[in-house]
Amino acid sequence: MDEQGALDPDVVETAEQIAAMDIRGAATIADAAAGALATQADRSDAERPAVFRAQLRAAAKTLYETRPTAVSLPNALRYVLRGMEGITVTELRASTVARAEEFQTELAQAQEQLGRVGANRLRDGDVVMTHCHSTDALSCIEAAVDAGTDIEAIVKETRPRKQGHITARQLREWDVPVTLIVDNAARRYLDEADHVLVGADSIAADGSVINKIGTSGLAVNARERGVPVMVAAQTIKLHPDTMTGHTVEIEMRDETEVLPVPERADVTGEQPNDEGFVVENPGFDVTPPRYVDAIVTERGQFPPESIVILMRELFGETTAEPWER
Ligand code: RUB
């Protein structure tokens, strides 16, 4: 590997963990990516500033290429690289590490703050239906529970990776009564829910919410049943490229997550791809703004159609990726 490409093994490992979903969820991915850039900066053996900068850009690119849908990842990388300032390697190192730590601190604070905003929407005795596992969404329930509000949860299992099980366990740690259901049971149980509460991987300029596959169907059913849909998303989830007409890439994951190899062999007598049927495994879907009642951020709650105002204020029109230079 050439000097400029000298990636710290921790960066490579973090990238592998994000790709394999050992590190997952948009906020957690952003936190890990910022931490990996700090490690790269801290341990870099570069003697020249240009080499140091090239190493940091290479690290950011490696992390960026892991998963395409959660914009918190490029937003985190961009934030840290923009803070890389100084003339000497020592200055560059210090500013990059400090910037990454600042990012991580602000991420945690934003989640707490949005939790307090979201908790204001929850009343004593409310039943909340969740989808997937979102730390932003859970922060709203945690803040409500901390304020003494009695909340119950109906937790969708969320095929194929069953992140709903993580949600269920977390809620039980907070003594929230939990009913775990399979995804297909969601419409039936909406009659018992007062809110649908989900997170987001990206929010587009028109207020569309990109989140775990199944969110859009849940939101449409909730609208039909008159259950309000609340999206908990820190502003790191706002997708600046969508202001200039770009769309959000939906990750297509491996078919073995849907039909593991031995199971498929049982059904068909064949290994995947050896015979007729196609398995598709999109990780995310797009919920149009008309099915969303509120986007809850650390800056307050917004109707989805007005989120672009906050997006412009926070990101301007600049969406260039520093690691492409
Ligand atoms: C996770 C997912 C979560 C969002 C928000 O998908 O869709 O709802 O990332 O999570 P995956 P958070 O499991 O494929 O990463 O609020 O923790 O950022």
Q: Which residue has the tokens 């093994």?
A: 9
Q: Which residue has the tokens 């990206």?
A: 202
132 is catalytic: yes
- pLDDT at position 277: 80
Q: Which residues pair with 295 in a beta bridge?
A: 231, 302
Mapped onto helix, strand or coil, the DSSP state of residue 126 is: strand
Q: Phi, psi at residue 58, to the nearest 5°?
A: -65, -40
- pLDDT at position 203: 98
Ligand 1 atom nearest the C-alpha of 24 is 15
Cα radius of gyration rounded to whole Å, the chain: 21
Q: Which residues pair with 302 in a beta bridge?
A: 295
Ligand 1 atom nearest the C-alpha of 30 is 18
- pLDDT at position 278: 87
Burial of 162 (0-12, 13-18, 19+ CB in 10 A): middle
Q: What is the pLDDT of residues 187-221, one digit of tens each?
A: 999 999 999 999 999 999 999 999 999 999 999 99
- Gap from CA of 196 to ligand 1 centroid (Å): 15
Ligand 1 atom nearest the C-alpha of 237 is 18
Task: In whole angstroms, give the CA distance from residue 102 to residue 245.
Answer: 30
For the four alpha carbons of 240, 213, 137 and 189, in that order, the dihedral sign comes to: positive
- pLDDT at position 215: 98
If you take atom 6 of ligand 1, which residue's CA is the nearest one?
25
Task: In whole angstroms, give the CA distance from residue 88 to residue 135.
Answer: 38
- Gap from CA of 93 to ligand 1 centroid (Å): 31
Structure tokens at 102: 């600042």
Mutation pick for ligand 1 pocket among 211, 215, 287 (CB with most ligand atoms within 8 Å)? 211
Q: Which residues line ligand 1 (CB under 6 A)?
A: 24-28, 70, 132, 134-137, 163, 199-201, 211-212, 283
- pLDDT at position 259: 86
- pLDDT at position 261: 75
- Catalytic entry in 8, 31, 126, 132: 132
In one letter, which amino acid is 162? K
Peptide bond into 282 cis (omega under 30): no
201 is catalytic: yes
If you take atom 7 of ligand 1, which residue's CA is the nearest one?
212
Mutation pick for ligand 1 pocket among 66, 69, 163 (CB with most ligand atoms within 8 Å)? 163
Ligand 1 atom nearest the C-alpha of 232 is 16
- Residues in the chain predicted with pLDDT less than 70, given as ranges, are 1-5, 262-266, 268-276, 317-325
- pLDDT at position 275: 63
Structure tokens at 318: 């600049």
- Gap from CA of 284 to ligand 1 centroid (Å): 10
